[in-house]
Amino acid sequence: MKQRFIKYICLSILGEMAISFYILADTFFIAQGIGDKGLTALNLAIPVFNFIYGIGLMLGIGSGIRLSILKIDHKHDEINQVFDHTVLLGLVIGALFMITGVLYSPSLARMLGANDAVLQDTVIYLRTIMIFTPAFIFNNALNALVRNDNNPALATTAMIVASLMNVILDYVFIFLCHMGMFGAVFATCLAPLIGLSILSLHFIKKKNTFHPVHLCFQFSMIKRIIKLGFPSMLIEISSGLVVLLFNTLILKITGNIGVAAYGVVCNIWLVCIAIFNGLANGMQPLTSESYGSHDTKNLIMLRRMTLTISLLISFIIYLTVFTNASMITSLFNKTNNPTLYKLAIEGFKIMFIGLFFAGVNIVLTTYFTSIESAKIASTLILLRGVVLIVPASIILSQLGMKGIWASLPLSEIMTTCVGLTYLKLKRAID
């Protein structure tokens, strides 16, 4: 089990980091090729990307957990129905996003805080991302299914290759073809199509246990998939809401340049969070498998190992970011704006304290989801994503940018206390 655990988490971390580089690559190339206004537009549009990405995770994780549990009982017909219902949901939701993107992108950009200086770039990014919603949803969903179907290597390969192609296409479209913001977002949108083409190879493998069959529509199955995957979607949606809230508060304090600085800090934060997501998602199939077979010993071992590794990773990341904050900021500050430089360095040193607790919270959330305790998982996500962070950021924003940066670690610390309490109570009941 330990060897499988190491294999799954390593591959999953690589894959999740690859996905996080979609936006990070955009951030870097937009900073270099477009400048501060481009960074601001990108950060204003990120909440919508989080929402789309979260829906794909909801469908993938929800159906993946069902797949892992059903495989133990050899219920192959039901596994195929899970896959078909996932495809149906993805098509319906994807179509709704496409229509919204085509018709309402300017209004949505205004709602997200775009002013006249950045409106055009924000609309371009939003409209293009939303038109390609089905690609993002199916890429995330199929990736989770393939990982749960004992093929983590292919899932990771798809994410890494897609991410590398995104970086290459960003450079080509922005610097060689001079396509501006559209070039950046178009490169990001082509990446999941590349990932899907690689993931489709799973269907020709003998060890594949799910296939398209005649759909026998069951509302109960859709409800089960959404229930199990909802905590994963909440993580992404809450992340997007935090970005939206911070953008709104920062615009009032320091204006567009403050949002650009937050964009730099936020995108590095998201890469680090991707490591914890990878760690937790690597644990998930094995945890669901152990839960389905009532293997309490392995459940405890997986939980302890994952939490220990998350704390070790947090220490390494914080030490690295703290000592290199100046260099990291310079990579995204082509115009050498002193305000952006000062704010971003301050943000790295304060906000990243929250990593120690964010890692624990992500692991606990995924653990509870994997053992079908979705209510507990959803509670933790709502605490760190809405209930605690919203009042903390609003109150602490009275202290300026330092208060904004400090609000995230504070909410993560309080969520960790609640999560560990839930874990203790869960063990006592079991």
Each residue's pLDDT tens digit, 171-220:
999 999 999 999 999 999 999 999 999 999 988 877 777 766 666 777 88
Degrees to nearest 5, angle at CA 364 with 360 and 369: 150
Task: Tell me the C-alpha distance between 43 and 328, whole Å.
Answer: 17
Task: Tell me the C-alpha distance between 321 and 98, whole Å.
Answer: 38
**143: enclosing H helix or E strand:** helix 133-148
Residue ranges of domains in the chain:
2-429
End-to-end CA distance of the chain: 22
User: Are 129 and 188 spatial neighbours (Cβ–Cβ below 8 Å)?
Assistant: yes
State the Rg of the chain over Cα: 21
Residue 146 has a pLDDT of 87
Contacts of 425 (CB under 8 A, 6+ apart): none
In Å, what is the CA distance from 155 to each residue of 57, 140, 171, 280, 281?
14, 10, 25, 15, 12
Q: How many CB atoms lie within 10 A of CB 429?
A: 6
Task: Tell me the C-alpha distance between 172 and 188, whole Å.
Answer: 12
**Which segments in the chain show pLDDT lower than 50?**
none
**Could you give the angle at which helices 296-331 and 2-33 cross, rounded to 10 degrees?**
20
Query: 87: which 2 tokens?
Result: 């495809």
The 3-state DSSP composition of the chain as helix, strand, coil percent (nearest 5) reads 90, 0, 10
Residue of 182, 172, 167, 166 whose CA lies nearest to 126: 182
Residue 108 has a pLDDT of 95
* Dihedral in degrees, nearest 10, Cα atoms 126, 249, 233, 284: 120
Residue 428 has a pLDDT of 55
Residue 105 has a pLDDT of 95
Residue 26 has a pLDDT of 75
